[in-house]
Structure 1
Amino acid sequence: MSKNSSGGAYGQAAGDTDFRKKYDLDEYAAKARDREEAEKEERKARWEAKMAGKKYYKPLEGHETLTTARSGHQDFSKLVGTTMLIPAGAGVGKRGRGAGIYCEACDLTFKDNLQWIEHTNSMQHQRNTGHTGEVRKATAEEVHQRIELLWERLQERKREQVVSLQERLEVRRVEDEKEREEKRRKRKEVDERKRLEKEEAEKAKTNYGEDVRIEGEHDEDDMMAAMGFTGFGVPKK
């Protein structure tokens, strides 16, 4: 099969179709200018905050919500004894993911729970998580309802503790009673076995006379005789 000398590999001229992606240079230039202006404004705001002795925070964009109390509970005990894989060189400083408690919103890692709690209460974390850092002022009715709710929770915990204590005492009483009953049963078994052995010995002596040997009755005398002792009495002069 002969190759078309006037066309490309697919039968068309190489210059007729351009497969490369085209970019709008003016659009990207405008984005670059906007980014540079934003960075310049941020640097200026940081410098002004530093000169005023204040800390710079990212300005609000209008979609943030008021700060509310944390509803979730961070269980740090589940991290005890666990293994964490971290990238090489991530163990220096707080920036980036490292060994510890990682904040994804701020890209920071903290080594203990106290640092983590302080960070979650900071303005930096509030702004990065979409909060204004301001708390809405509650009304008198809301405060009253909150106090009633907390009081009811406290009373509920007290009731649970009382019930739990009573249950534990009752369980302990039942266990002690079972232990005493088991000890009484064992003592009765021992007493009954001794009584039967004594009756058997008395019956054997009645049938065969006083010279009959009862198991265990003359063990001490036999041991002394084997050792050459006939008695511990004082010899007669």
Structure 2
Amino acid sequence: MSNKSSAYGQVSGDTDFRKKYDLEEYAAKAKAREAEEREERKARYEAKLAGKKYYKPLDGSETLTTAFTKTHDFSKLIGTSTLVPAGSAVGRRGRGAGFYCEACDITLKDDKQFISHLTSVQHQRATGHTGEVRKATAADVHSRIEEVWERLQARKREEVVTLQERLQVRKEEEEKEREEKRRRRKEAEERKRLEKEQALKVKTEYGDDVRIEGEHDEDDMMAMLGFTGFGTSKK
């Protein structure tokens, strides 16, 4: 056997650095698990014979059932696609195409079945709840009312802020529109002024023979009608 050291600092051929497993401990765990599964199968069979549905028995560590603390917004899933892993379950048991409950390891086909499952005894037992709801006291009712009232007030405050923001944005947009109209009006006035100044400049340089737009329209109309002038007969 070679005495060269390996990359782990051990002598080649020496396996003492590897993790040791207690075979007897793991054998006992496997035996206990098999016994538990055997008891569960027996209980399921007896419940089936009695025409009842089997539920996991309580072990004393469960807590009372409480109200939902979050909502499920299924509208976000509209128009989306979900990749289903190869070998997925076809029935309810296991992960498949639909709404999967990890606690119970089953897949529901639509949102109504999923919500109904969340309130079932099966799911309550799987998530560590007894399925019984604690009776609310007067203090709990008052606390709940205060919580809902504060939530409504906060929502109203947000709506007011949102309305003020929308009004401010609209005011800024209207001011920009008015400024744009003023700019266009000034540009049009400046263009007309420059055209008028250019016309007067040309008339000054070339005399009265230069026709300015609209200046001799009346004389041309009189000539077409045969009038040469309206002179007086007085001498």
- Considering the TM-score relative to the shorter chain, is it more than 0.5? yes
Q: Distance in 2 between matches of 1:166 and 1:32?
A: 67
For structure 2, list consecutive stretches of 5 or more residues without a partner in the other structure: 1-22, 215-223, 226-235
Over 3 Å counting, the alpha-carbon distance change for 1:33 and 1:78 in structure 2 is: closer
Partner of 2:171: 173
Q: Distance in 2 between matches of 1:161 and 1:107?
A: 42
> Which of 121-130 and 205-214 deviates more?
205-214
Q: Secondary structure at the match of 1:169?
A: helix
Partner of 1:100: 98
Over 3 Å counting, the alpha-carbon distance change for 1:120 and 1:164 in structure 2 is: same
Match among 159, 162, 175 for residue 161 of structure 1: 159
Amino acid paired to 1:69: A
How many residue pairs get aligned? The number is 193
For structure 1, list consecutive stretches of 5 or more residues without a partner in the other structure: 1-20, 219-232
Over 3 Å counting, the alpha-carbon distance change for 1:136 and 1:85 in structure 2 is: same
The alignment status of 1:72 with 2:66, answered yes or no, reads no
Q: CA deviation at 1:46?
A: 3.2
Partner of 1:222: none
Matches within 5 A, 1:16-165: 35-48=37-50, 50=51, 55-77=53-75, 79=77, 80-88=79-87, 90=89, 92-165=90-163
Partner of 1:16: none
Q: CA deviation at 1:176?
A: 0.7
Over 3 Å counting, the alpha-carbon distance change for 1:31 and 1:119 in structure 2 is: closer
Q: Distance in 2 between matches of 1:167 and 1:30?
A: 66
Q: CA deviation at 1:134?
A: 0.8
Over 3 Å counting, the alpha-carbon distance change for 1:86 and 1:60 in structure 2 is: same
Partner of 1:194: 192
Q: Secondary structure at the match of 2:63?
A: coil
Q: Distance in 1 between matches of 2:33 and 2:168?
A: 76
Q: CA deviation at 1:189?
A: 0.8
Over the aligned positions, Cα root-mean-square deviation in angstroms equals: 3.2
Q: CA deviation at 1:143?
A: 0.8
Amino acid paired to 1:137: K
Give TM-score, length-normalised by structure 1. Answer: 0.68
Deviation string 1:79-135 (CA, Å, 9 cap, x unpaired) is 453441322353x33222112221111111123322221111111111111111111
Q: Distance in 2 between matches of 1:159 and 1:23?
A: 62
Deviation string 1:129-157 (CA, Å, 9 cap, x unpaired) is 11111111111111111101111111111
Q: Distance in 2 between matches of 1:28 and 1:178?
A: 78
Amino acid paired to 1:72: K
